[in-house]
A and B are shown apart, each in its own frame.
Chain A
Amino acid sequence: MWREAKSAAQGETPKGGRQTGNHLLVRSGELVCALPLGAVRRVVRALPVHPLPGAGPALRGLAEFAGEPLPVLDLSRLVGAPPGAQSSYPVTVVVWAGPVDARETVGLAADAALAVAEVSPGALVGGDGALVRGEAAIGGQVVRVLDLEALGRDR
């Protein structure tokens, strides 16, 4: 599963990933999140993160990725999920966040990349009108589907 997800996410993908139904399923704490595949730049082993004094719990700190500084966020806290027993976050999912015409690279600390799955827009329920587009049942589990274009808007 990990290899499938990794290879699917490795390519530099075109803009406008929000339109596609393909998502990368990522486990974070007790929750599975679905990230638009077009917004996923790379899945890597956890990047060394340097904390930022005074930062909120959702911001783990700064890392270096491909020679550039990269803010790394805690995916569990970002979506308000329980962190789970494991909090070492062995995986960093590097994504494009923000509007398509002003996207930024951000790291999401997570437990594992699981698989690529199709998410039908009609299957979504709920949502907060911001980062969480809604929840969908995929493979017998409830998955929180994220809109990464909303990440970085004023909170």
Chain B
Amino acid sequence: MTGGGYLLLRRGGSLWGIANSAVTDLARQGDGAYRIATAGDDPATLVADEVLGVVRELRVWPNVSVLRCFWPEPLAGLAVHDAMPVIVVDPGRPPQALQGRGGA
């Protein structure tokens, strides 16, 4: 599942984006959730409630210090898609909410 763009996911009421090039596998589980496997030095399996699809381009803004103060999750940045804020995931350091221990 390689290619450009970003895979858009919904989890915990928020919209998340992950570089499509970092995704190696995507599967739906029996409970309806999706499992997303990522590549890299430290492969991870992420969990999503819904997969919205792939967007070719996403303008990514760097995370802001105000947000870091109140939500110290590692992020690749922030974006907007269809007037919805998107949290752009760092595939090497996925946030807890996508690791199945938070959100939903």
**Do chains A and B interact in one complex?**
yes
Q: Given that A55-B70, A64-B83, A67-B80 are known contacts, is A104 also in contact with B14, CB under 8 Å in the complex?
A: no
Q: Which 8 A-B pairs have the closest CB atoms?
A: A53-B12, A53-B97, A62-B85, A69-B78, A59-B70, A152-B66, A53-B103, A69-B85
Across the interface, do B66 and A51 meet the contact criterion of CB distance under 8 Å? no
Report B84 CB to chain A, min CB distance, Å: 6
Complexed CA–CA distance, A104 and B69 (Å): 13
> 21 interchain pairs (CB within 8 A)?
A50-B13, A50-B15, A50-B85, A53-B11, A53-B95, A53-B97, A54-B102, A54-B103, A55-B70, A55-B71, A56-B70, A59-B67, A62-B14, A62-B85, A64-B85, A69-B85, A69-B86, A71-B66, A73-B66, A104-B64, A155-B69
Across the interface, do B64 and A52 meet the contact criterion of CB distance under 8 Å? no
Complexed CA–CA distance, A62 and B97 (Å): 15
A interface residue numbers (CB < 8 A to B): 50-56, 58-59, 61-64, 67-71, 73, 97-98, 102, 104, 106, 151-155
Interchain pairs with CB closer than 8 A, number: 83
Q: Tell me the count of chain B residues lying within 8 A, CB to CB, of chain A.
A: 27
